[in-house]
């Protein structure tokens, strides 16, 4: 399973693991969106702690979830992204947003 | 300049091969003793190039993706990723950051930006109806040096 979903009242946390590329991004976003659309969470957390590789498909994944959670009236947080993943995120300016709000990393 | 080592591989443009392609190229360059960050840069750039072939070049079906890796003196590697797909009419436009032909909002339009930023050199040649060839170059600063 490339993603474990944890639901705690108003917070949905997606623990993503392994590699994020174009091939498996579809499955990841299906699982995450299904939980988000069911719970309407205040906060959607994408936990990248166990992600070993990510290309720009991961940026698409974050941007797509950002749009969804905004439509649902919630906020998005990115947590535990390893150095190599942050380097890719920096390309989209997502890294800057994480840096700005250390506490909780809300974007 | 003559390559001191080289490797060629062809595979079908199925998305399950994206992981195989970047891992195979990374494994081939391992002899140069790259750092973890250099390996990650190469894998990311190759993944972007291969995904472009699959998503754009062969958007209407399955074709063959061609990869040719050469290693030169001075730890310089050159990676060519090629398809014989639909080609790009306006390469300059395609390379602009955030430009994407995808309207679902799930593709960032950062593929070429990442290739350009993670590698030392990026060359793109394309002909509509003929295909696209992307050449990525990087000099590996080996761990021990």
pLDDT, mean over chain A? 88
Residue of higher predicted confidence among A98 and B26? B26
pLDDT at site A96: 57
pLDDT at site B144: 55
- Which residue(s) pair with B132 in the sheet? B83, B126
Domain spanning A3-100: CATH 3.30.750.24: yes
pLDDT at site B24: 98
B48 carries an active-site annotation: yes
Q: How far apart are CA A10 and CA A7, in angstroms?
A: 8
Q: How far apart are CA B27 and CA B45, in angstroms?
A: 14
pLDDT band at A40 (very low <50, low <70, confident <90, very high): very high
A42 has a pLDDT exceeding 90 = yes
pLDDT at site A100: 45
How many Cβ atoms sit within 10 Å of the Cβ of residue B88? 21
Domain ranges, ordered by start, for chain A: 3-100
Of the candidates B28, B22, B11, B109, the one whose C-alpha atom is nearest the C-alpha of residue B66 is B11
**Minimum-distance CB partner of A23 among B19, B107, B109:** B19
B chain contacts of residue A67, beta-carbon cutoff 8 Å = 105
The helix (H) or strand (E) run that includes residue A26 is helix A22-39
Please name the residues in contact with B2: beta carbons below 8 A apart, sequence gap of 6 or more: B72
What is the per-residue burial (b if ≥16 Cβ within 10 Å, else e) of B8-39?
Answer: eeebebebebbbebbbbbbebbeebebeeebb
pLDDT at site B86: 96
Q: How far apart are CA B10 and CA A43, in angstroms?
A: 44
B76 carries an active-site annotation: no
A95 has a pLDDT exceeding 50 = yes
Fold of B5-139: Heat Shock Protein 90 (3.30.565)
B51: nearest CA partner in chain A: A22
Contact B105 A22 (CB under 8 A): no
3-state helix, strand, coil in chain A (%, to 5): 45, 30, 20
pLDDT at site A99: 44
pLDDT at site A98: 55
B chain contacts of residue A84, beta-carbon cutoff 8 Å = 36-37, 40, 44
Please name the residues in contact with A13: beta carbons below 8 A apart, sequence gap of 6 or more: A5, A6, A7, A44, A45, A47
Weakest mean pLDDT among A51-55, A66-70, B60-64, B134-138: A66-70
Q: How far apart are CA B115 and CA A97, in angstroms?
A: 23
User: If you compute the radius of gyration of chain B from its CA atoms, what whole number of angstroms results?
Assistant: 15
**Minimum-distance CB partner of A55 among B16, B37, B47:** B47
B6 carries an active-site annotation: no
pLDDT digits over B6-40, tens only? 999 999 999 999 999 999 999 999 999 999 999 99
Beta carbon pairs, A and B, within 8 Å: 68
Outline where B15-136 has alpha helix (H).
17-29, 36-52, 91-94, 111-118
- What stretches in chain B show pLDDT beneath 50? none
pLDDT digits over A6-19, tens only? 999 899 999 999 99
């Amino acid at each position: 399973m490339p993603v474990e979903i944890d639901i705690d009242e108003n917070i949905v946390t997606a623990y993503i693991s392994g590699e994020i590329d174009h091939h498996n991004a579809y499955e990841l976003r299906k699982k995450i969106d299904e939980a988000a659309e069911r719970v309407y969470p205040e906060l959607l957390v994408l936990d990248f702690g166990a992600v070993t590789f990510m290309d720009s498909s991961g940026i698409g994944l974050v941007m797509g979830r950002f749009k969804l959670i905004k439509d649902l009236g919630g906020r998005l947080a990115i947590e535990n992204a390893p150095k190599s993943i942050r380097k890719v995120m920096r390309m989209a300016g997502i890294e800057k947003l994480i840096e700005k709000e250390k506490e909780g990393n809300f974007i | 300049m003559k390559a001191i080592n080289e490797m060629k591989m062809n595979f079908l443009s199925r998305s399950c091969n994206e992981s195989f392609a970047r891992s195979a190229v990374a494994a081939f360059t391992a002899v140069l003793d790259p750092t973890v960050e250099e390996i990650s840069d190469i894998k990311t750039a190759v993944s972007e190039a291969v995904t472009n072939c699959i998503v754009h070049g062969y958007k209407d079906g399955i074709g063959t993706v061609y990869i040719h890796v050469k290693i030169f003196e001075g730890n310089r590697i050159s990676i060519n990723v090629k398809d014989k797909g639909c080609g790009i009419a306006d390469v300059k436009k395609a390379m602009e950051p955030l430009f994407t032909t995808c309207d679902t909002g799930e593709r960032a339009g950062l593929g070429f930006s990442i290739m350009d930023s993670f590698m030392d050199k990026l060359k793109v040649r394309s002909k509509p109806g003929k295909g696209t060839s992307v050449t990525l170059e990087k000099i590996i600063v080996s761990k021990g040096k």
